[in-house]
Chain A
């Protein structure tokens, strides 16, 4: 039943003392937070620690959630701020592509296609300045609008626009002649 409830209803339930309902929130967003952690730390173990830290922080701050913006946005903002603060003291040791792991998909064909798409997007994103890469993640994977990304990261909308545009252009060049392009042309 909890699965059908929206985030805000679950938050209300937690605030009325049903701590176990927080498990639904964790289940819904752990992948997204993990991916953000991976973008910040480029390391699987640190990304897992990041997930733990973000959710505990979110639980502690849940009382301050006023519902003025969607819960998902509120949570991502906490995650982004946590990541920015931790990454200042963190020096990465391994390049991100060495540790990238493809997710499991439904059919082998889809799996292959999505793996290729992911790889291409990572290549396209890696051509951007490091600090703006997270903006492209927010745009593509999290489906956030330019304004939402801007209010989360503090970057001007035009900067986000131009970086996303650069990533899209790069992606278009990378996609030409790949199976991803052929797949949709069929």
Chain B
């Protein structure tokens, strides 16, 4: 391998900070490369953190003005995963109820008439869950901005 091959070998590598072993060996007896490669390495490293075009204007204020017009984030106390898990448990328990021993016990004790109030209670539970979920995720349904617009109009 001649000097050009060694330099190409170094330039082909992703990291410019480390010299390949073969190149290091080559540097031991090649004075020309001993001057060129470290200088090249420093020049390439000098590009990090410098940018070719300078910003004359600070954009922070104009961006913050636009951002402050938007609604601030309000992260709910209940995480998304908890919502999903509790929803699955609720739905699963409703669907599995007819196959459960306790349901059979309820039927034996109170007769078939108990099915209707139980269904109403379950329906209310799932409605309550959906209502709470929707209320806390208005932004996802695109309703929050509409509601805010209506409230703003009313305030005017």
Q: Is A108 an interface residue (CB 8 A)?
A: no
The digit string for A22-56, where 1 denotes a CB below 8 A from any CB of B, is 11001100111011001000001001100110011
Q: Given A22, A52, A63, A117, which contacts B59 in the complex, CB threshold below 8 Å?
A: A52
Query: A180 → chain B, closest Cβ, in Å?
Result: 5
Q: Which residue of chain B lies nearest to A11 when distances are taken between CB atoms in the complex? A: B73
Q: Which residue of chain B lies nearest to A168 when distances are taken between CB atoms in the complex? A: B11
Q: Do the beta carbons of A23 and B64 come within 8 Å of each other?
A: yes
Q: Given B38, B44, B64, which contacts A168 in the complex, CB threshold below 8 Å?
A: B44
Q: Do the beta carbons of B63 and A52 come within 8 Å of each other?
A: yes
Q: Which residue of chain B lies nearest to A35 when distances are taken between CB atoms in the complex? A: B51
> Please, could you name 26 A-B residue pairs with CB atoms under 8 Å apart, sorted by A?
A16-B75, A17-B74, A19-B70, A19-B73, A23-B60, A26-B63, A30-B55, A30-B60, A31-B51, A34-B55, A35-B51, A38-B53, A48-B57, A51-B59, A52-B59, A52-B62, A55-B59, A63-B73, A101-B53, A117-B50, A122-B52, A140-B44, A143-B49, A168-B11, A184-B43, A185-B35
**Cβ contacts under 8 Å, A180 to chain B:** 43, 46
Q: Do the beta carbons of A143 and B48 come within 8 Å of each other?
A: yes
Q: Do the beta carbons of B73 and A103 come within 8 Å of each other?
A: no
Q: How far is the CA of A19 from the CA of B42 in the complex (A)?
A: 40
Q: How far is the CA of A100 from the CA of B53 in the complex (A)?
A: 6
Q: How far is the CA of A104 from the CA of B50 in the complex (A)?
A: 10
Interface centre among A55, A114, A184 (most CB of B within 10 A): A184
Q: Which residue of chain A lies nearest to B42 when distances are taken between CB atoms in the complex? A: A184
The list of the 9 closest CB pairs from A to B, nearest first, reads: A103-B54, A184-B39, A140-B47, A184-B42, A38-B53, A35-B51, A168-B11, A19-B72, A15-B73
**Cβ contacts under 8 Å, A34 to chain B:** 51, 53, 55, 59
**Cβ contacts under 8 Å, A146 to chain B:** 14
Query: A81 → chain B, closest Cβ, in Å?
Result: 18
Given contacts A26-B64, A31-B55, A184-B42, 4 further A-B contacts (CB under 8 A): A52-B66, A113-B46, A169-B8, A185-B39
Range of interface residues on B (Cβ < 8 Å): 35 or more
**Cβ contacts under 8 Å, B40 to chain A:** 172, 175, 181
Q: How far is the CA of A145 from the CA of B25 in the complex (A)?
A: 27
Binding site for A on B (CB under 8 A): 7-8, 11-12, 14, 35, 38-40, 42-44, 46-60, 62-64, 66-68, 70, 72-75, 139
Query: B62 → chain A, closest Cβ, in Å?
Result: 6
Q: Do the beta carbons of A101 and B56 come within 8 Å of each other?
A: yes
The digit string for A139-170, where 1 denotes a CB below 8 A from any CB of B, is 01101011000000000000001000100110
Q: Which residue of chain A lies nearest to B62 when distances are taken between CB atoms in the complex? A: A52
Known contacts A17-B73, A100-B52: does B43 contact A55 (CB below 8 Å)?
no
Q: How far is the CA of A145 from the CA of B46 in the complex (A)?
A: 17
The digit string for A102-127, where 1 denotes a CB below 8 A from any CB of B, is 11110000000110011001100000
